[in-house]
Chains A and B, each alone.
Chain A
């Protein structure tokens, strides 16, 4: 390899300027030249030039945003998830150095594994004086109910490492319960491969896929004695800060994504509530903190866990990765004791040192810490956000006094760490490179007799030049991490290695009841948004046109349509109830409400879209990138609208056009790229039910009332238009507008996909195709409801309906009754489906313990 240094004179990057910024050791630049492992990358970047790179960075933002890569900082549904920031310049390691890091990480993991097995087992380390008991018991992370569990092996481990002043890698902290970031690392790599295809190919980077293969193998093997173990990924749900990663990993690894409420413990085993009934889960890859996993034995509050899980683990019926209780190893105080334990247990020195750590529980150490607060980072051994780690130098006099008091009151709860000036790495800032302090998160997974290290990891850099704060919450930037291979590395696909002893079986995967219910509601919300948007568009058109003529019939028609808007969206009083007459005179203001805010009972279009996004996000793992992009775009666009102070009706008309295009694209994608399994069936059932309900609502508020003929004709035309049936009608019935023909087309025409009978026909087929626990000759409740309504509909006579019910002059009573019954049938079907397939939403509660009065002598 040529060691020619790219010079500042080229159109590329000015590395001598970069060098002047350096204050600490740098990853790329050493002693006036580029380190060998960075050569090829830097040459490539130089050829690409700053301008191209800046453009690709824009592209990276777009790509990550569209892929929905987010980090939900506050876990608040109201604040948007923060988009993931990726810097295009990776952190690079040569093969030889990485081998040393790997070896050190494996040694450390084996040591922590030993400690874990000991702490929840014989506790020799405490008895032999190698670990102080207050340190272990005081942190609150040592979970008493997890004591003496049969399986005590650390399956996953992650470490945050950084290069210290001595040029070697140091461990800053250990992550042992549900290490976050492997999915983000994978997403970063995927993005970089797409954005810098030449560079990523030329550089002989080791592939990440091996690691995920090893993870899957390990999980599968850990369920001993079960041939095709079912693995599920347990998430706390969409509010979790890293929900994106949970969904991403679940879909990459092919595991169902489940929440505590999707699981139940019966007969000592863990079961997934699927729409096909209960399916046993053998392995849980958990992304939920261990203390939240079982409301019976661990923490009683919060719905995240599964009651009885711990007992199921104890009985050996389910494997949880990482094992429950492993958070005890994240205690930063352990760092102070690891070197001694390593010598004692393995007879070895630690290959990777950690930042010097003082545990305040020892008098001498505490005195040192209190004296040198200025130079230390002080951390609590209790993992809480109330007292995050602080830099002594940043504290005011009184803050220092207060901290000193806290330490003296409970010294065993505090540790101090030296401030490590870790190295910097080049980061693209505008169009030049700047050094930024970097931390690398590395990942390991257990294998027979040892651990496998991910060749790479998630690198994060500080947002500012002098900052050492590298936290995703604080607005840090992430990077890909390249480990160079001596020889070309061939990627493996997760598809390519079925276990030899297993015959691949077609298992379409389980659909949890919750996912099924969300799909059903995605169908309903999408349909509702579409129908409301269409009606609003018709209304706005008439509103803009009607003003000129002021024709009585046209005004009447418009008013009727406005009332239909209120009925359809249930935004009472609107144009119907109290004050409706006044609102009819100046309709835009009320229409604006319908679009934006809605009322107590009724939902605005915006709220419907939000609900659509919420339901979609809850099943993020089931959407293709394309589908998610559409959903995200709609949400983005409509959130903007909300903030416009002066929203004009013309503007809304354009927005509605755009929205309808998006909604159609989504429904087209659903139709063309989802297999016709239970998930799609439920989504389409949701659509059909909602389409039926909204058609009924529209007809009842437009065609049921009797007015004069001109107005009725105008209304019929508007309804046909809103229901996309006007062209068909004209073609079929020429220009004779007759209510009977309109009803025929909209109610009982089996070939019109917008007709009511068509919805019932589809419902009948879909419901029959849904999985059923037992097949009996008897029809299910939902089948019966749909069949009865369908049959009745097919038997009606539109002519009689159009004329009938002469006893009321203002209203077509028979038509109204029919529509009311059909509505009832759809509602009842929806309820029956909920009972059959989604009845998972059982609320759990705690028994109130007895606080007994006691006996006095």
Chain B
């Protein structure tokens, strides 16, 4: 299946901004079942400095700086991706969770030991007894790892209420766990905290989900949103992704943008600006199935086009 993801971010500043430095993680990366065929970033006003790199996790990062006075920043990111269906996994066939902890295995030191990095606490996911208590219920001795992950996903789906606006980026995870309310980011963080508290490597995945209109209605453009879920590392299968917001494993309609220890590592657009401090933010996202013949959108002056 082919998709086009358009992610538009607009910041309107209360006063003039003379300079800004930004990092965007908006261009979709390649993943196990996903290949990004082309992508484009359009920034207004046009930045004076722009270059791309891969970060520690291999995510695509665009650094740009605008050095002229402006009062609005618009970033349009467009990525075309091909997604194949993940092979079906029988959760019961995986090894038991105790044997999936990196210290118990020889592959823990691969890739600079990064499996360990995903076991430790991270800026937004501190280690906590609270998470461990919640996780232990899903982790009876000898249970296969993927059953543990599946069970955890289901419990979070049922125990937590999906309440937009209840949390913000800065809400501590402990509050989320106490009130059992939040959005996809919070659910992913909860699952990650639980898995790590048991010594299992877990990572945060940011991405998109194709939404389907109600039967008989036309799909609205720009009504989609970015999405987030978690993945657990299976020594035999590699990373396996779960979407606790929708209680399902990721499928063809999940598109991966970036991954890291938690949201802080994959923030879609970060910036430091000099001048006006107050601003308003508008984000619109559109995930559409792609007709193979369609061209990339025609922006006046794209900074990147592949």
A→B interface (CB under 8 Å): 122-123, 126-129, 132-134, 136-138, 144-145, 147, 264-268, 295-297, 300, 307-308, 311, 314-315, 409-410, 412, 842-857
Contacts and interface: CB of A to CB of B under 8 A. Distances in A.
Contacts of B269: 847, 849-850
B228 A296 contact: no
Nearest to B206: A852
Interface stretch (B31-39, B135-143, B164-172): B164-172
A311 B226 contact: no
Most chain A CB neighbours (cut-off 10 Å) among B224, B226, B265, B269: B226
Contacts of A267: 48-49, 67
Contacts of B165: 853
A144 B56 contact: yes
29 contacts: A126-B113, A132-B116, A133-B109, A134-B116, A138-B120, A147-B55, A265-B21, A267-B67, A295-B272, A297-B23, A311-B21, A315-B51, A843-B277, A844-B272, A844-B274, A846-B271, A847-B272, A847-B281, A848-B281, A850-B269, A851-B168, A851-B169, A852-B285, A853-B225, A854-B225, A855-B225, A856-B246, A857-B209, A857-B212
B21 A848 contact: no
Given A296-B270, A847-B271, A127 B110 contact: yes
A847 B169 CA distance: 12
A265 B167 CA distance: 34
A854 B127 contact: no
B9 to A, nearest CB: 7
B112 interface: yes
B20 to A, nearest CB: 8
Contact of B11 (A122, A133, A138, A847): A847
Contacts of B168: 851
B183 interface: yes
Given A847-B279, A851-B167, A853-B165, 19 more contacts: A127-B110, A133-B114, A133-B115, A133-B116, A133-B117, A138-B120, A147-B56, A265-B21, A265-B65, A267-B49, A268-B49, A297-B23, A409-B127, A845-B272, A845-B273, A849-B270, A852-B285, A853-B164, A854-B227
A300 B117 CA distance: 21
B267 A264 contact: no
A154 to B, nearest CB: 20
Interface in B1-28: 9, 11, 18-19, 21-23
Given A266-B65, A311-B63, A847-B279, A854 B48 contact: no
Contacts of A315: 51
Nearest to A299: B123
Contact of A842 (B18, B114, B119, B162): B18
A389 to B, nearest CB: 21
A612 B228 CA distance: 54
B211 interface: yes
6 nearest A-B pairs in the assembled complex, by CB-CB distance:
A133-B113, A123-B112, A847-B271, A133-B116, A307-B272, A854-B184
Contacts of B245: 854, 856
A855 B272 contact: no
B116 A137 contact: yes
Contacts of A308: 21, 65, 272
A315 to B, nearest CB: 8
Contacts of B225: 852-855
Contact of B209 (A123, A314, A410, A854): A854
A314 B49 CA distance: 14
B222 to A, nearest CB: 12
A144 B55 contact: yes
A852 B226 contact: yes
Given A266-B65, A308-B65, A850-B281, A126 B21 contact: no
A854 B226 contact: yes
B185 interface: yes
A315 B51 CA distance: 10
B144 interface: no
Contacts of B270: 296, 846-847, 849
Nearest to B261: A144
A268 B21 CA distance: 10
Nearest to A123: B112
Nearest to A310: B63
Nearest to B186: A851
Most chain A CB neighbours (cut-off 10 Å) among B113, B120, B273: B113
Contact of B211 (A134, A846, A855): A855
Interface in B169-201: 169, 183-185
A295 B22 CA distance: 11
A855 B19 contact: no
A566 to B, nearest CB: 37
Nearest to A139: B120
A132 B112 CA distance: 10
Contacts of B113: 123, 126-127, 132-133, 136-137
Contacts of B211: 855, 857
A28 to B, nearest CB: 48
Interface in B219-237: 224-228
Contacts of A311: 21, 63
A856 to B, nearest CB: 7
Interface string B223-259: 0111110000000000000000110000000000000
Interface string B46-76: 0011010101100000010101000000000
B228 A854 contact: yes
A269 B275 CA distance: 20
A133 B115 CA distance: 9
Contacts of B272: 295-296, 300, 307-308, 844-847
B269 to A, nearest CB: 7
B71 to A, nearest CB: 14
B288 interface: no
A129 B109 contact: yes
A847 B19 contact: no
B283 to A, nearest CB: 5
A646 B53 CA distance: 68
A847 B273 contact: yes
Contact of B227 (A134, A266, A855): A855
A418 to B, nearest CB: 26
Contacts of B21: 265, 296, 307-308, 311
A147 B184 CA distance: 29
A854 B21 CA distance: 27
A578 B230 CA distance: 68
Contacts of A849: 169, 267-270
Nearest to B267: A849
Contacts of B228: 854
B65 A852 contact: no
Contacts of A307: 21, 272, 274
Interface in B71-121: 108-110, 112-117, 119-120
Nearest to B253: A857
Most chain A CB neighbours (cut-off 10 Å) among B9, B114, B245, B271: B271
